[in-house]
Structure 1
Amino acid sequence: MDFETIRKLKERCTLRSDIIKEFLAEFLGTFVLILFGCGSVAQTVLSRETQGEKLTIHFGFTLGVMLAVYMAGGVSAQFLGAFLGSGAVFCLYYDAFTDFSGGNLTVTGDNATAGIFASYPRENLSLFNGFIDQVIGAGALVLCILAIVDKRNIGAPRGMEPLVIGLSIMAIAVSMSLNCGYPINPARDLGPRLFTAMAGWGKEVFSAGGGWWWVPVVGPMVGGVVGAVIYYLMIELHHPEPEKNFEDDSSMKDKYEMNAIN
């Protein structure tokens, strides 16, 4: 195959629509996030913590976020990526799911496996407290991201942003995961939850925890807005204006005289 044929083939396969490009990038990035994140949960739970623990779950999601950001590059189709990522994890550990629960896919109880994919509240956690938990967690994440990418602040070195964002997820994981984990992303929680509803866990995934399912969907959206507003009002609004290079009258006069001579 000659160079010209390869070039024409590439032109035919190259997408023209920016929306479709963003869809594919975000789809693949979220797929990777769920594959590594939920995969680390599945390995820990299904092995009954013989091949993992809570800290390995935190590392799984941290590295998943970092690699997803490197892959997607900030360009949105998160929901579908989360749904198919959950499916990949289920297929990967299908036999382990069967052995763990005797073939019964349950949402609550000692052999519950629905929590591998989506978040569920700890016992006696109220919906209000859970909602506040998600607002604070998502707000903290947005605050960190805005600081990391703010070039008028210290910021992160170019190319290191995904790593530092991943470390921000780790900080949230080790300090705010007691109540319900740290979904802090509507698509990350809702997509896998819908997958479990369709894959055999049933409608209980929406009724468990007193109808918990809406909290990790609405809470992060509210928290994201709150975090952005706080950063703008307390940091970004107060950045000094960039200096403008005004030329004094003498320099302007010199330029005029030089042009006149030429």
Structure 2
Amino acid sequence: MLSEESNGTWLSINMAWGIAVLMGVYCSEGVSGAHLNCAVSFAHAVYGRLPWWKLPGYCVSQVVGAFLGAGAIYLLDYQKLMKADPNKETTQANFATYPSEDINNLTAFYSEALATCMLLLCIYAITDHRNRSPGTVGTPFAFALMIMALGMSFGMNTGYAMNPARDFGPRLFTYMVGYGSKVWTADGFYFLIPIFGPFIGGVVGAGMYTFLVQVQHPNEPEDL
């Protein structure tokens, strides 16, 4: 937004998000299994891959991480932000997601739910050891390519949160640094959509893979 695409395009933005996920997986896989996304953690809890008691801590950590990330970018771009928008009226979209002007909230909800549905379906496929596994080295790269593809395919309507923490943390930050209540009330309280859309879509996508593919695998032979 600040460069008016002179220093970035839709392709480069999605590539950057994919590489960010790649680095995030490498940084956190050994500690948490690379739980970077509340919708992923919630779907894992629903289908028994994550104990429910761990879910609140993971989600809080994810929101805090997104909040701090927004703060780091705010400091980095502060001078440009103040020059472009000294009254903090328009640049909140540099941090949280907001819908395109030509869609309504129902379409926005469907976009977020569908994108996150595909996200979880792909994650479950990539991490299923009974599929053609990309291995410990290839898995993070598969995740990165997945994010790039989903962003380029589904991102134009809403900016593709696909992660309640990715939207809520930066949105809270913009509220706290003076962007006002519009970050909550704009577009008919749009902030609820990047929360509930990914949660619902993620459970659906994980369920699709679990019940349409995973349970169809032949039983593994028992060790004697």
Q: Do the structures match in fold with TM over 0.5? A: yes
Which residue identity does 1:86 align to in structure 2? A
Match of 1:166 in 2: 144
State the match for 2:41 in structure 1: none
Q: 2:87 aligns with which of 78, 96, 104?
A: 104
- Between the aligned partners of 1:219 and 1:226, the Cα distance in structure 2 is 11
One-letter amino acid of the structure 2 residue matched with residue 105 of structure 1:
K
Q: Is the 8 A contact 2:10 2:152 kept in 1?
A: no
Alignment of 1:46-125 (within 5 A): 46-73=2-29, 74-75=33-34, 76=58, 77-101=61-85, 103-106=86-89, 112-125=90-103
* Aligned mates of 2:27, 2:222 — CA distance in 1: 37
Q: Does 1:181 align with 2:181?
A: no
Q: Is the 8 A contact 2:66 2:166 kept in 1?
A: yes
Tell me by how many angstroms 1:155 deviates. Answer: 2.1
TM-score (norm 1): 0.72
Contact 2:119 2:146 in 1 (8 A): yes
Q: Which runs of 4+ in 1 moved over 4 A?
A: none
Percent identical: 38
Q: Determine the C-alpha separation between the residues in 1 that align with 2:132 and 2:9.
A: 35
RMSD of aligned C-alpha atoms? 1.2
SS at match of 1:206: helix
1:244 Cα deviation from its structure 2 partner: 3.5
Task: Please give the alpha-carbon distance, in whole angstroms, between the structure 1 residues aligned to 2:202 and 2:119.
Answer: 8
Q: Structure 2: which amino acid aligns with 1:217?
A: I
Q: Which residue of 1 aligns with 2:202?
A: 224
Give the number of aligned pairs. 196
User: Structure 2 CA distance, aligned partners of 1:48 and 1:131?
Assistant: 27
Q: Distance in 2 between matches of 1:154 and 1:56?
A: 29
Written as runs of structure 1 = structure 2, the 5 A alignment for 1:1-262 is 45-73=1-29, 74-75=33-34, 76=58, 77-101=61-85, 103-106=86-89, 112-244=90-222
TM-score (norm 2): 0.84
Which structure is richer in relative contact order (CA contacts within 8 A, separation 6 or more)?
A: 2
In structure 2, runs of 5+ residues without a counterpart are 35-57
Letter in 2 for 1:228: A
